[in-house]
Structure 1
């Protein structure tokens, strides 16, 4: 019995080592890029995404850094508590329902999806994020401010909650009427499903 456990553990470690090595180089970038171009980008011009981002940009355009910090603290507290007015507003909106549908229809490929506004604040999400403000992270900084065609693929990491290896791909959300960036999207990809 102990011999079998050691063999299984050794095999598991070999798989873990192979995925960790791949994670460092993100050998999944070609598949993730293809997924972004063929499946995710078409959503970005959907009125469910564009209209929600534009509406939130109008609502949040005058927020100061102090206002954003206050909202982020509120979100974090509500996320830990299992909900509250801010979390419930975002998670209960039409965009979040749209994103949940995309995640649920992916066969486990998408582990999370969220859309941010021009300030990096959550507009909609398939799942509650740990924070409300994404504007200080690469997923927003390497997309929305960079321009309409920006795409950022993050490193592969082991996600403790789902026990899977994942990478996030992010891209700029563009207003189809003007061609101007209005926000960003991030999609968690379960690389074991690619």
Structure 2
């Protein structure tokens, strides 16, 4: 993809992102051109499916405990939990999508059925996304759900961005998790 194409696609979002409502044609165009071509890649769905097996029996107490561990250890180096999210094949794949976007994408992460991080291009501020709109307005809503945030400063990516989140599905179309992609706001302001 050329930088000019990416910039024109992202610029099409400018008026739409301010409302953070249902995606309109411009947002859908960005989703279709910058996200969907790789969003269903097997490396991502396999990682989510594997984690869904591991976390199937997690209750709220376990989820909150892991979120606290993440918050205490992110940025310190050498944490098994943080490393599992940032050093996997799926994380490498997500980083390659950020790099190939020529600055249009600031971060990407995928979540399991509970909203727990599975893989991320760079560290997130918390491990559990399940209490946030990016997860609640996608995975819980169904296979075609899309959520677009307002433009905000994101601590984890250290940039102004809008986040586009979508539900990820298995080969039968059943929701298995969610994907969040940060879009560089400097390109759309």
- TM-score normalized with structure 2 length: 0.83
Match of 1:158 in 2: 153
Output the CA distance in 2 between the equivalents of 1:160 and 1:90.
18
Equivalent positions of 1:110-129 (< 5 A) are 110-129=105-124
Q: Structure 1 residues 97, 161: CA separation in 2 closer, same or farther (over 3 Å shift)?
A: closer
Q: Where do 5+ consecutive residues of structure 1 fail to align?
A: 1-20
Residue of structure 2 in register with 1:189 after alignment? 183
80-89 vs 145-154, which deviates more?
A: 80-89
Is residue 111–residue 177 contact of structure 2 (8 Å, CA) maintained in 1?
yes
Uncovered stretches (5+) of structure 2, i.e. residues with no partner: 1-14
Contact kept? 1:29, 1:153, Cα under 8 Å = no
In proportion to residue count, which structure has more helix? 1
More relative contact order, 1 or 2 (CA 8 Å, 6+ apart): 2
4+ long deviations beyond 6 Å: 160-163
Q: Which of 104, 113, 117 is matched with 2:99 structurally?
A: 104
Distance 1:51 1:127 in 2: 20
1:43 maps to: 38
Aligned residue pairs: how many?
A: 173
- Judging changes above 3 Å, is the alpha-carbon distance between structure 1 residues 54 and 191 closer, same or farther for their aligned structure 2 residues? same
1:137 aligns with 2:132: yes
TM-score computed with the length of structure 1 as normaliser: 0.81
Summarize deviations over 1:75-126 as a string: whole Å, max 9, x none. Answer: 1111142441100111111110000000011111111100000000000000
Contact 2:107/2:157, CA 8 A, preserved across alignment: no
* Residue 179 of structure 1, aligned match among 160, 163, 173: 173
- Per-residue CA shift, 1:46-72, capped at 9, x if unaligned? 111111110100110111111111111
